[in-house]
Amino acid sequence: MATGCMAPELGLDADETGDLGASAEAIESGNALSYNALSYNALSYNALSYNALSYNALRPEAASALKDPGEGGDLFRTLVKYTVSCALTESQSFRFSWTDSAGAVHHEVYHGHLGLAAQWDRRALDADGKQMVSACLAAHTNRYGVSVLISMRSHQDPLRHEVGRDEREAYPHVEGAFWGNLFGETPYLRACYNEASVDLARAARRDCAAGHVDGEGDVEGCGIIEIVGACQDLCSKLHPPGKYYKDCVDPESGKTRYVVTTALR
């Protein structure tokens, strides 16, 4: 039985996780089968912020949160589900069981999708993997919990080679970019917006890049995701073939190449 390293980082043992290398069923939502890097985003920023701050992004003590039958457990399981989708490939999965307050046992199987840190089933995440998974989670976050199909792009593998012409043409409106690190002592996420797509992003209820305008006209981010400005001011020019930002400058940590760019129809 292959337990991998994701389980130990969550404080789980082999009997609790099942086979991390099990074959996953094909993802059949929307156009995910024909467009390799398309992904529905509906990760609540409450789940992202609550767990990143309370459990410091998947440290071993988080195992109890994964099995918590209350609201905190629901939030954490949602975060882990999206984390697995970002990190692992479609041929990998993460399995565990938990018991709800009525005594019913739930056997969960979370399938991978994008494969940004596929080695996590064999060893602990390296610095690159931590940043790419974090950027992916930020890109999936939706302020309203609304599911919107987005195209995810990056100069980093494997996304660098996954987005073809058909997907770029079908999703021509780059909305912004995301980066950060949820796995450090001080978790953080940043976002920037493409000035040309702000109105479109807000109309699509994708406010975590464009920013939510409150009743007083102030722009708010999404929980832990801090909007730091226009991508035109912070990032390299859009890479012409791939339509993504190769790197961006974080106000505190400096230039980063571990950026996920998102685009809309």
CA distances from 51 to 4, 16, 68, 225 (A): 22, 21, 12, 13
Q: Mean of the pLDDT values across residues 71-77?
A: 83
User: Which range is least confidently modeled, 24-33, 72-81, 132-141, 245-254?
Assistant: 24-33
Asked if 55 and 31 touch (Cβ cutoff 8 Å), the reply is: no
User: Reduced to 3 states, what is the DSSP secondary structure of residue 243?
Assistant: coil
- Please say if the pLDDT value at position 22 is more than 50: no
- Per-residue confidence band for 74, with pLDDT thresholds at 50, 70 and 90: confident
Q: What's at 19, amino acid-wise?
A: D
Tell me what pLDDT residue 59 has: 52
> What DSSP assignment string belongs to 54-123?
HHTTT-GGGHHHHT--SHHHHHHHHHHHHHHHHHSBTT-EEEEEEE-TTS-EEEEEEEPBB-TTGGGGTS
Residue 234 has pLDDT above 90, yes or no: yes
Buried b / exposed e over 19-58, threshold 16 CB at 10 Å, is: bbbeebeebeeeebeebbbbbbbebbbbbbbbbbeebbbb
Q: What is the pLDDT of residues 124-169, one digit of tens each?
A: 889 999 999 999 999 988 888 778 888 999 999 999 988 888 889 9
Q: Residue 44: what pLDDT?
A: 60
Planar angle of CA 9, 189, 253, nearest 5 degrees: 100
**Statement: residue 2 has pLDDT above 50:** no
pLDDT given for residue 3 in this prediction: 40
State both tokens at 258. 């571990």
Antiparallel, parallel or unpaired: β 225-230 and 188-193: parallel
Length of the chain counted residue by residue: 265
Name which residue leads in pLDDT, 160 or 40. 160
Bridge partners, 125 (sequence order)? none
Q: Do the Cβ atoms of 154 and 244 come closer than 8 Å?
A: yes
Q: What is the mean pLDDT of residues 101-122?
A: 93
CA atoms of 133 and 154, how far apart (whole Å) = 12
C-alpha closest to that of 168 among 262, 89, 30, 86? 262
Can you give the pLDDT at residue 30?
A: 26
Residue from 18, 20, 258, 53 nearest 139 by CA? 258
Domain borders along the chain are 6-264
